[in-house]
Amino acid sequence: MKYCKNFYQIKANDEIFSKLKAERETAEVGYYQLPYQDLTQIKNHAKSVTKSHIVVVGIGGSSLGAKAIYEFLLLSNSYQKDLLFLETTAPLEINHCLKKIDLNDAHFVVISKSGNTIETISLFKYLDGLVKIDKSNCTIISQKNSKLTDFANANNIKSFALAENIGGRFSVFSEVGLVPLAMVGVDIENLLNGAKRVAESFFEKGDYYQPIIEKARFLVENKHRFNINAIFSYCTSLESFNKWYVQLWAESLGKININRTRQAFTPIALIGPVDQHSFLQLIIDGVRDKTVTFIKIDDLKDNTKIPNSTPDLGLDYVDGLSFDQLLNAQADATIAAVKAQKDIPYDVVTISTADEYNIAKLMFIYQLLVSAIGQFLQINTYDQPGVEHGKQILAKQLKEK
């Protein structure tokens, strides 16, 4: 009999760092290289699209990233075209989304890495029954040899080939995010600059190295005590970013590791100030099973103000304040209340302003953080074997009908 086992244990920071570098250098994981891609083709194609409505047909990793960036940027920017997302099979949502637009003035960006995502293909088929879909109003983003790419080729529809080594939840800086964002006029070069700033700093052990590696280590060392990680984002424009974070965190870190042990960090996404009237009670008085990350935006570039002279309603100290000031004061007060508890681990990310550069930095930091945690946990951060079984059951069920 022979038996040999090196049970899972937390490695030294430097060992994790070398493993992440190896992921990048062997191109085992593709997202690290995305900040350095050539944007010419994407930009040219985006320029050629003249329709007013850009409709992304895609679900999960194929829509969450672009949606997060677009909604965040709407805070301080306006675009001539609008960006919509058809992502679910709920009929009311489909009809609600399509009612908003003139289908003849819409360009559809159909995104599915595998090319056979059931929601996306069903929606595509439905759309094709409503309006003729051809090279004049469609762009396809999929893997090289998928059924969807074949369809694009057969119909002369412009397609972008997705790299095999980039999974949906790490694809926001690939064609998946950049093509639709470029079409509405987002500065995708500046997005990549933000991502590059973080990537370079991390891999050259610059200013972003310590915060990321140390946070990953803290979370892993305390994973049994704090199995829940909440982000508390001020304000609503970060709601889609929150959803992107939940997918990234949940689908990457909910895994069985090399030692056959179940691993998990459970993400919670909160929005301030609304969730001060809800979840905050649980954070303050509940069991200490959560870490909290606050995200706030310094300058909302908005001057909507509460008037100086107001009816007699009390709370005179808000008179003359801008909502921007009030929102940030609420964030600061909540942070102070959490701090005062003295035993809730928290950190604060302050974004200077709502532009491409800053949201890209935030998202790239989160991707690196998840990659680092995954290495500490000794899991495969980039696959999702747990969602396959349900898909097989569904296909079997529907075929039998």
If binding is defined by CB under 8 A, does position 247 make contact with a copy of itself?
yes
Residues within window 86-105 making contact with a copy of itself, judged by CB under 8 A: 87-95
Looking at the Cβ atoms of 5 and 91, the one nearer to a copy of itself is 91
Task: Please choose, out of 29-37, 49-57, 101-109, 251-259, the segment that lies near a copy of itself by the rule CB under 8 A.
Answer: 251-259
Q: Please identify which residue in 1, 4, 12, 313 interacts with a copy of itself, judged by CB under 8 A.
A: 313
15 catalytic, yes or no? no
Per-residue binding string, a copy of itself, 16-55, x by CB under 8 A, is: ----------------------------------------
Per-residue binding string, a copy of itself, 174-213, x by CB under 8 A, is: ----------------------------------------
| Smallest separation, CB 325 to a copy of itself (Å) | 9
| Smallest separation, CB 124 to a copy of itself (Å) | 6
100 catalytic, yes or no? no
- From the list 2, 5, 277, 342, the catalytic residue is 277
Q: Please identify which residue in 15, 25, 102, 128 interacts with a copy of itself, judged by CB under 8 A.
A: 128
**H, E, C per residue of the chain:** CCCCCCCCCCCCHHHHHHHHHHHHHCCCCCHHHHHHCCCHHHHHHHHHCCCCEEEEECCHHHCHHHHHHHHHHCCCCCCCCEEEEECCCCHHHHHHHHHCCCHHHEEEEEECCCCCCHHHHHHHHHHHHHCCCCCCCEEEEEECCCHHHHHHHHCCCEEEEECCCCCHHHCCCCHHHHHHHHHHCCCHHHHHHHHHHHHHHHHCCCCCHHHHHHHHHHHHHCCCCCCEEEEEEECHHHHHHHHHHHHHHHHHHCEECCCCCEECCEEEEEECCHHHHCHHHHHHHCCCCEEEEEEEEEECCCCCECCCCCCCCCCHHHCCCEHHHHHHHHHHHHHHHHHHHCCCCEEEEEEEECCHHHHHHHHHHHHHHHHHHHHHHCCCCCCCHHHHHHHHHHHHHHHHC
Residues within window 355-384 making contact with a copy of itself, judged by CB under 8 A: 384
71 catalytic, yes or no? no
Q: Active-site positions?
A: 251, 277, 391
